[in-house]
Amino acid sequence: MADAIIWSVGGYAPPHIITNKRLSERMDTSDEWIQTRTGIRERRSAGDEETTATASIQSGKAALEASEFEAEDLDWVVVCTDTPEMWSPATACFVQDALGARQASAIDLTGGCAGFLQTLQIMSPLAQAGKRLLVIGTELLTHALNWNDRSTAVLFGDGSSAFLMGPSDAGHGGIRIGPGLSRSDGSQTDILGKPYGGTRYAITPELVREGRLHTIRMEGPKVFKHAVTMMSDIGRRVIQEAQLGLEQIDWVVPHQANQRIIDAVTHQVGIPAERVFSHVARFANTGSASIGLAMSDMLDQRLIKPGQRLLSVAFGAGFSWASQLFFVDQVPPAQFIHAGEPV
């Protein structure tokens, strides 16, 4: 059977840069607190002029432009997001229309910050079966923040990333999707999420007045502990199951949640820090976009080389966590749009 291959990669970091200093003018926090607790220096914001669909279109277009394919060649457009364009229809439908992917079926998937790896694992068999897919992870988390809650407002940013994927027997090289694992523990749904606005907790005038409408709620220390334990465990397990040694992993590409979590996972897995990619200082936590955005940046910086093996690990609301191995047969073409200005 053919393997699933990432043929090209697109990344989009919206142009508004919000520094820690800017946040400290708006709430009771400081650059020093944010940097020491999270490693984050700044994050991107899409502002009011963009939506999840427009950001997804940017990264999707970037991936297509970098490739030899046209939107008409796509069989599937998939958007993984926790901050959708609307409740219904799916964000992917707006993207499919705007890109002109007239032969494609479009669907959204939601899985918190582990969602992008889960989505790759769900969609890879379709690529193996010969389908061409545009798999996009997008989050406009600055639209989902309670700006009165300093413990969450400083952590997140906006971004979008896209992988154009297809089968290995179609004559196009790229990054091969290797073995992957994912798990969930639904007994932990209360420690991280956006609980309001669904059928359990309806939107009320009080929520709107308090600015808690659709905003993220998190028990930070519990999330920290689970994140480190679960990502380290599932990272080690996928390496073992693939019968690889740690020394055969060239890069770890972790979910870019915060530097302390990344450092703790690095320590627990036992991999040298110089083989762990982080750009959390510049882009903060971009949820479902995070892993693709990191790979897009790595390709832009020419850090990914033929023959390398990459291990990605992620965790997020649910609680869900996942690991994924990638094997670089060829360096895929990529385009990373990241010019920005402080606001």
CB nearer ligand ACO, residue 174 or residue 193: 193
Whose CB is nearest to ligand ACO? 220
> Could you tell me which stretch among 28-36, 131-139, 235-243, 270-278 binds ligand ACO (CB under 6 A)?
28-36
Q: Which of 15, 179, 195, 220 is in the footprint of ligand ACO by CB under 6 A?
A: 220
Q: Which is nearer to ligand ACO, 59 or 285 (CB)?
A: 285
Residues 183-212 that bind ligand ACO (CB under 6 A): 192
CA atoms within 13 A on the CB side of 1: 9
Q: Which of 16, 93, 113, 338 is catalytic?
A: 113
User: For residue 103, what are its two tokens?
Assistant: 């032969």
Piece in contact with ligand ACO (CB under 6 A), picked from 213-221, 265-273, 325-333, 335-343: 213-221
Tokens of 235: 């990272």
Does residue 255 have an active-site annotation? Answer: yes
Here the tokens at position 72 are 């008409």
Interface pick for ligand ACO out of 101, 135, 261, 295 (rule CB under 6 A): 261
Interface with ligand ACO, residue 217, by CB under 6 A: no
Minimum distance from residue 168 beta carbon to ligand ACO (Å): 31
| Nearest residue (CB) to ligand ACO, 4 versus 313 | 313
174 touches ligand ACO (CB under 6 A): no
**Is 33 a residue that touches ligand ACO (CB under 6 A)?**
yes
**Residue 38, interface with ligand ACO (CB under 6 A)?**
yes
At position 71, the amino acid (one-letter code) is: A
Beta strands in the chain (DSSP E): 4-12, 16-19, 42-45, 76-80, 105-109, 133-140, 158-167, 175-184, 192-193, 217-218, 251-254, 309-316, 320-328, 334-337, 341-342
Asked if 148 is an active-site residue, the reply is no
How far from 309 is each of 45, 239, 240, 250, CA to CA, in Å? 32, 11, 14, 5
Nearest partner of 192 among 216, 168, 209, 227, judged by Cα: 216
- Sign of torsion, CA 294 299 303 305? positive
Q: Is 285 a catalytic residue?
A: yes
Q: How far apart are CA 227 and CA 264, in angstroms?
A: 10
Strand pairing class (309-316; 251-254): parallel
Amino acid at 164: L
If one asks whether residue 150 binds ligand ACO (CB under 6 A), the answer comes out as yes
Beta strands in 103-157, from DSSP E residues, in sequence order:
105-109, 133-140
* Binding of ligand ACO by 257 (CB under 6 A): yes
Among 112, 137, 167, 235, binds ligand ACO (CB under 6 A): 112
Tell me whether the omega of the peptide bond preceding residue 125 falls within 30 degrees of 0, making it cis: no
Distance (Å, rounded) from C-alpha 90 to C-alpha 106?
8
The CB-side HSE value for 89 (13 A sphere, CA atoms) comes to 10
* Residue 232 or 335 with smaller CB distance to ligand ACO: 232
Choices 30-38, 51-59, 71-79, 228-236 (CB under 6 A): range interacting with ligand ACO: 30-38
Residues 311-330 within binding reach of ligand ACO (CB under 6 A): 316-317
- Residues that bind ligand ACO (rule: CB under 6 A) add up to a total of 24
Catalytic residue IDs: 113, 255, 285
Residue ranges in contact with ligand ACO by CB under 6 A:
29, 33-34, 37-38, 112-113, 150-151, 154-155, 192, 218, 220-221, 223-224, 257-258, 260-261, 285, 316-317
